[in-house]
Amino acid sequence: MKKLIVLLILAFAGQTVFANSAGGNDTIAIEISKDITVNWTIKGSKIVQDDVFLKHKANKKAIKLQLIDLLSDATVLDLEACFKKGKVTKGDVAFYLFDELFNVPYPTAVGKAFPDILLSCKPPVGLYDYIDANRTVVSANMHTFYTKATK
C-alpha cells in the first residue's frame, strides 16, 4: 500500500512539473555580462520590464558605454525573435536593452534608417540583421553619437 501511495505521489509530481514547463513560464534570464542580466520572454521576444530591468534603468548612465561595447558580442543564443532572421545574439540583447533605456534614434546613432515597422514586432524590420552584418561599425557609430551627446 505504501508503494502505491509513493507511486501516485511521484506520478502526480511528474504531471505537475510537466504542466508547468509546458504551459507557463516562458521567461529566461540572459546574462550579457557579469554585471548585466535581463529577463527575456521567449514568446514575446522582448525584455521583461521587471525589478531587474528597473535596476538597470536606475543605473543606465553607468552602464551606457558597457552596453555599447557589448553590441559586438556575437555569441549566439538559442532564441529566435520576430525582429531578426537568424538566432538572437548577446549583442542583440545588449542593443535591445540599450534601446529600451535610451530610445535610440536609428538613423543618427546606428547610421541607417529603418522605415519598415511591423505592428506586431517593436524593432524595425532589418535592424538586427544590419547590426549582425555591421557590428563593429554600429558599435563605433553608437560610441561616437552617445559620447558626443553626453559632453
Quick: pLDDT tens for 61-75.
999 999 999 999 999
DSSP lists the bridge partners of residue 29 as 39
Nearest to 84 by CA among 75, 93, 97: 93
Closest CA to 112 of 80, 145, 75: 145
Each residue of 85-113: pLDDT tens digit? 899 999 999 999 999 999 998 888 888 88
Mutual angle of helices 60-70 and 135-150, in 10-degree steps: 160
pLDDT over 70 at 13, yes or no? no
Residue 35 phi/psi, 5-degree rounding, is -100, -15
7 pLDDT exceeds 80?
Answer: no
Whole-number Cα distances in Å, 7 to 2, 4, 20, 56, 140:
9, 5, 20, 46, 61
Least confident of 22-26, 124-128, 142-146: 22-26
> What is the reported pTM?
0.76
Grid cell, residue 44, equals: 514575446
Domain ranges of the chain: 2-150
Distance of CA 110 to the CA centre of its chain: 18
Q: Please tell me the predicted confidence (pLDDT) of residue 14.
A: 35
41 Ramachandran zone, left/alpha/beta (phi>0; psi -120 to 50): beta
Q: Is residue 141 a contact partner of residue 110, using CB atoms and an 8 Å limit?
A: yes
Left if phi > 0, otherwise alpha if psi is -120 to 50, otherwise beta: which for 45? left
pLDDT at 11: 41
Question: Over 50: is that where the pLDDT of 80 sits?
Answer: yes
